[in-house]
Amino acid sequence: MSILPYLVLSALLFTVGTIGVIVKKNIIAIFLCIELMLNGANLSFVAFSSYLNQVHGQVFVFFVMVVAAAEAAVGLAITIAIYRNRNTLSVDDADIMKW
Amino acid sequence: MMLFYLLGTIALAAAVNVVAQRRVFYSALFLIICLCALSGLYMLLQAPFIAAVQVIVYAGAIMVLFLFVIMLLDPFSAVPLSEKKRYLGYLGIAMGTATLVLLVPFLLSYDLSRVPRNVTGMAAGTGITRRIGETIFKEYLLPFEVTSVLILVAIIGAVILGKKKI
pLDDT at B34 over 60: yes
Q: Mean pLDDT, to the nearest integer, of B85-109?
A: 82
Dihedral pair phi/psi, residue B111, rounded to 5° = -90, 100
Specify the number of domains making up chain A. Answer: 1
How many CB atoms lie under 10 A from the CB of residue B71?
Answer: 12
Contacts with A82 (C-beta within 8 Å, 6 or more apart), sequence order: A27, A88, A89, A94
CB–CB of B49 and A58 under 8 A?
yes
**Domain hosting residue B84, numbered range:** 2-124
Same domain (yes/no): B66, B116: yes
**B90 shares its domain with B103:** yes
B94 in the same domain as B134: no
**Distance, CA of A31 to CA of B160 (rounded, Å):** 20
Domain-located, residue A94: no
Same domain, B86 and B163: no
**B119, B137: one domain:** no
- Residues B99 and B131 reside in one and the same domain: no
Q: Give the model confidence (pLDDT) of A24-40 as tens digits.
A: 888 899 999 999 999 99
Please report whether residue A61 resides in a domain.
yes
Instruction: Tell whether A95 is covered by a domain.
Output: no
B51-56 long-range Cβ contacts below 8 angstroms, 24+ apart: B53/A62, B53/A65, B54/A65
Residue B5 pLDDT > 90:
yes
Work out the number of other CB atoms within 10 angstroms of the CB of residue B4: 16
Question: How distant is the Cα of B71 from the closest Cα of chain A, in angstroms?
Answer: 11
* pLDDT exceeds 50 at position B81: no
Residues B93 and B131 in one domain: no
Q: Do B135 and A35 touch (CB under 8 A)?
A: no
Of B65, B112, B122, the CB nearest to A53: B122
pLDDT at A84 over 50: yes
- B positions 12-71 inside 8 Å of A (CB): 12, 15-16, 18-19, 24, 27-28, 31, 34-35, 38, 41-42, 45-47, 49-50, 53-54, 57-58, 61-62, 65-66, 69-70
CATH number, residue B82? 1.20.120.1200
User: Do B120 and B154 fall into the same domain?
Assistant: no
pLDDT, one tens digit per residue, over B44-68 is: 998 889 999 999 998 889 999 999 9
Contact by Cβ (8 Å): B62, A68: yes
A11 to B128: CB separation less than 8 angstroms, yes or no: no
Q: Which of A24, A28, A46 lies at the smallest CB-CB distance from B50? A: A46
pTM of the model: 0.87
Contact B108 A70 (CB under 8 A): no
Whole-angstrom distance, CA of residue A81 vs CA of residue A88: 10
- For residue A26, the cross-strand partners are A90
Co-location of B79 and B139 in the same domain:
no
Q: Which of A21-30, B6-15, B102-111, B139-148 has the lowest mean pLDDT?
A: B102-111
- Say if residue A6's pLDDT is above 60: yes
What is the tens place of the pLDDT at every residue in A37-53? Answer: 999 999 999 999 988 88
Asked if the Cβ–Cβ distance from B96 to A4 is below 8 Å, we say no
Range of the domain at A64: 4-86
For an interface test with B, give the residue of A55, A56, A89 to mutate (most B CBs within 10 A): A55
Judge if B116 and B139 occupy the same domain: no
Q: Report how many domains make up chain B.
A: 2
Check if the interface score ipTM surpasses 0.95: no
Residues B120, B94, single domain; the answer is yes
Name the nearest CA neighbour of B68 among B162, B149, B165.
B162
**CATH number where A48 lies:** 1.10.287.3510
Residues B68, B97, single domain; the answer is yes
Which one, of B110, B127, B44, lies nearest residue A50 by Cα? B44
